[in-house]
Amino acid sequence: MAKDYQKEYRYWLEHELADDATKEELRAIKDDESEIEDRFYRDLDFGTAGLRGILGVGSNRMNNYTVRRTAQGIANYINSEGSDKAKRGVVIAYDCRHFSQEFAMESAKVFAANGIKAYLFDEMMPTPILSFAVRYLKTFAGVMITASHNPAKYNGYKVYGEDGAQLGVAPSKYVMGYIEKMDIFSGAKTVSEEEGKRSGLIEMVGREVVSAFLSEVIKCSINPDVIQKAAEDFKIVYTPFHGTGYKAVCEILQMAGFKNVYPVPEQVVVDPNFSTVKSPNPEDKEGFALAITMAKEIGADIIIGTDPDSDRIGVLAKNETGDYDVLTGNQTGELLTDYVLSEKSARGEIAKGDYIVKTIVTTDLVKKIAAEFGVDVYDVFTGFKNIAEVIKIKEGKNEGEYLFGFEESYGYLPGTYARDKDAVAASLLACEMALVYKTRGVGLKEALLNLYKKYGCFVERTVSVVMEGADGMEKMAALMESVANHPPKELGGVKFTALRNYKTQTRYDFETGNEDKIDMVSTNVLYFELSGGGFFIIRPSGTEPKIKFYYSIPAESLDAGEAKIELIDAAAKKAFL
């Protein structure tokens, strides 16, 4: 329910604990009704993994007050679990964004004030290193200050559990409950940085953890001997998009034996404004313009780019004309899945019960690849914590070996040392794969087309529809309800055979009229099965004010698939928006 935003605005403006800079920013918008409404109509949501929002003053913004209150909510949860959990503590990392380092220290100070040990990284770090650090340091929780690939005006607050995965639903609800009961100004305890360090409750960490992380990542290499023999004739162009990946990615490639790594000079500069790109998102080819220019100049074999917190990677493959083709997140995942499984199979390293994990919005082509090698596939809901949950359950039962996991949004994990997507390891594996295939006379695009020849061509696309503002959430809810109550049986001439309504946990067959139960937890996703395979999925984003449409179309060719997607997408927007 929306708050009385004017009342909340005055509360912030007049509170004695609000600092001068906060009040000055609020006075500057006193005549802007819409701005006041957007900043104060709600509290920034603490979802199943934390916060994400626009930077600025207000209850619906990322600022020191919302960060401290969130940290206090986490502290209350930890202390409710027992003194041993407080002693194990929390490890905190941050990326390159505006106020990331400040928010990290503010969190550490709150944890220290609550008697909870806080390990704080001494410089910005990739998200996968934070996930690894939780397991390595055996802390009870972790915090990563990042807004991933969002534009510069955003920041965020990811919370991790003791397994190194983003916090699950149950503990998130406990944290949320503590936050909701807390006053934004007086609810959080805090100490000075000096006092926290002097007491030993704030401890800086760095190189030891990074070295241990890289030692695990290097084990993901499958053909290290090929790198040693052929790296001299292989060139890599890399952009970290001004973010955290520069040191770790370059170091892991060097450790593996790659000789010719060319970082994009303008984009290795730490820049929270991401000045050289429209958006620091490896999904967008626009951000690779400088990398492509450099790659053409030096004749690079591959271009890779990691987002600001280095958990996602984009790959561009050199083609026969000397230009560079953008691989989608699904295509990179298909190639990596086939590479990992085929190489391990050739070595006799795959056993019955070994498995890969993917999200339901990720291409089903990998199911065909996995079947070829006798590997099981687990489908989970969107969010890498769900992939991590499968790993945790399988390890607990000592069932099978995890071989690979990914989601279509450019996130991959080739090992179990971390429990979140890892662009550092994915950079190593993508470059190794490209080099190995080059020694066999095959380019990455050719390798992809070979997969399509063998298993059939699937074409995918994700379309995001932004619904910001006070009524954005209501519009999203209304759209989902409308489609669920009146599901189309075809769009753009493409027929649907069934609807999986994961909210009601039912599958309705359009042809037979039969309705069956789905054995998965309830979540707000509508999944239309296509005639001949593939899917059309509608889901609201869990971190941003947008509805997402996912298309996966079996087709005779890439062009034919793209044409079908254009038809369905146009029909979907006309019908639903």
Sign of the CA dihedral running 396, 402, 408, 410:
positive
Question: For 565, how many CA atoms within 13 A lie in the half-sphere containing its CB?
Answer: 23
Sign of the CA dihedral running 239, 275, 470, 465:
negative
Residue written as token pair 């949004």: 409
Contact 328, 349 (CB under 8 A): no
Residue 438: phi, psi to the nearest 5?
-60, -40
166-195 burial: b if 16+ Cβ within 10 Å, else e: bbbeebbebbbebbeebebbebbbbbeeee
Q: Which residues contact 102 (CB under 8 A, 6 or more apart)?
A: 64
Q: Which residues contact 313 (CB under 8 A, 6 or more apart)?
A: 282, 304, 305, 306, 307, 332, 410, 412, 423, 426, 427, 430
Catalytic residue among 148, 221, 310, 427: 148
Residue 416: phi, psi to the nearest 5?
-105, 10
State the Cα–Cα distance between residues 472 and 78, nearest whole angstrom.
33
Catalytic residue check, 34 = no
Burial class (CB in 10 A: 0-12, 13-18, 19+), 207: exposed
**The token pair that represents 548 in the structure block:** 């997402």
Contact 128, 405 (CB under 8 A): no
DSSP for 57-97 reads SSTTSBSHHHHHHHHHHHHHHHHHT-HHHHHH-EEEEE-SS
Residue 202: what residue type?
A: I
Residues labelled as active-site residues: 148
